[in-house]
Homo-oligomer: A and B are copies of this chain.
Amino acid sequence: MYDTTILQQRIAQGLAEIDMPDFPQNLYGPINYMLQIGGKRIRPLLTLMAADLFSIDEMDKALPAALAVELFHNFSLMHDDIMDNAPLRRGQQTVHEKWNPNIAILSGDNILIMAYAQLAKCPPTKLPSLMDAFNTMAMEVCEGQQLDMDFEHAASVGIDDYLQMIRLKTSVLLGTALKMGAILGNADNNDAQLIYDFGVNVGLAFQLQDDILDVYGDPAQFGKQQGGDILANKKTFLLLKALETADTANAAELDRWLHDDIHPTEKINAVTAIYDRLGVRQLAEAAKQAYADRSFQTLEHIAVDARRKTPLQTLAHSLIMRTH
């Protein structure tokens, strides 16, 4: 099997070698910028690791699919940042801030097309099934982003609605990245579905960890403002669970803070205290652990020697247990 570091180097090299015209500058400049400000490249790594888990004669055959996954991720970030009016991405100015929203729309469109141009380089016999997996995922990610926007204005959002949203918006991309690798590694349909389910459950646990870290993470490690979700009244698992389980007194206090945007420090402290009283952190940790357990059980069922699964277990564990 390949060392993870080797796979990461191939991804970095593959991204650097993507054919990128330099004209029009206002179209390809922002794309270059977005790809160069980095990210952890977890998703393409999952594609290559899945291909490696099964059997692929030449890892370069899986590289275009891995790059397609990473390009798709960057497309969705560029457009989400416009919709969320986000000033920063990975600590740098977002494209719509550094250029303008029209340029971010069009450059994002072009990254999506570039993702498909990578897919077109995949082995022709695999292309139809790769396209099906990728297209299903891509539409679901759009659906998840729409639900996320809808939730901002929704009077009430249930925990199940929230879990469906994060499944669509973030988890199916992890599952599909793995599934595409499995297809390229000649896995059978059952194993391809199992590794997809593994990825989706890792993604759900990953997102719940994100919600927990916003409130309970070490700000020095997490790198984001602690309590940012609380200040934005973001409908996270913690807030939705608090709204669901609060008694009258806690509900009334929570409601008061949701309408307060002039006492930021007090708001973070007070809402965190309500979360503590209601024990929503423990509920979130339990839900996260359930998804983590399910993901590792699913991985066990894949018809491959257990020792080959160690790198994926290690990576999944680091994603779910991360402190930043």
A residues with CB within 8 A of B: 21, 23-24, 26-27, 75, 79, 82-83, 101-103, 105-106, 108-110, 112-114, 116-117, 119-120, 124-125, 127-128, 131-132, 135, 138-139, 142-143, 145-147, 149-150
Contact = CB atoms under 8 A, between A and B. Distances in A.
Report copies per complex. 2
Nearest to A120: B131
Contacts of A21: 143
A121 to B, nearest CB: 9
Given A105-B105, A106-B142, A24 B147 contact: yes
A32 to B, nearest CB: 14
A207 B24 CA distance: 21
B120 A128 contact: yes
Given A79-B106, A102-B149, A142-B106, A131 B119 contact: yes
25 contacts: A24-B147, A24-B150, A26-B150, A27-B142, A27-B143, A79-B106, A79-B109, A83-B105, A101-B101, A102-B149, A106-B145, A109-B109, A109-B142, A110-B139, A110-B142, A113-B135, A113-B138, A116-B131, A116-B135, A117-B139, A119-B131, A120-B135, A124-B128, A127-B127, A127-B128
Given A112-B112, A116-B131, 11 more contacts: A24-B143, A24-B146, A75-B109, A108-B109, A109-B142, A113-B135, A113-B142, A116-B138, A117-B135, A120-B131, A124-B128
Given A102-B82, A131-B120, A146 B109 contact: no
A213 to B, nearest CB: 27
B131 A105 contact: no
Residue in A75, A109, A119 with the greatest tally of chain B CB atoms within 10 Å = A109
Nearest to A131: B120
A318 to B, nearest CB: 31
Nearest to A165: B24
Contacts of A139: 110, 113-114, 117
A22 to B, nearest CB: 12
Nearest to A123: B128
A143 B27 CA distance: 7
A182 to B, nearest CB: 18
B116 A146 contact: no
A61 to B, nearest CB: 14
B109 A82 contact: no
B146 A132 contact: no
A146 B22 CA distance: 13
A144 to B, nearest CB: 9
A68 to B, nearest CB: 11
A132 B120 contact: yes
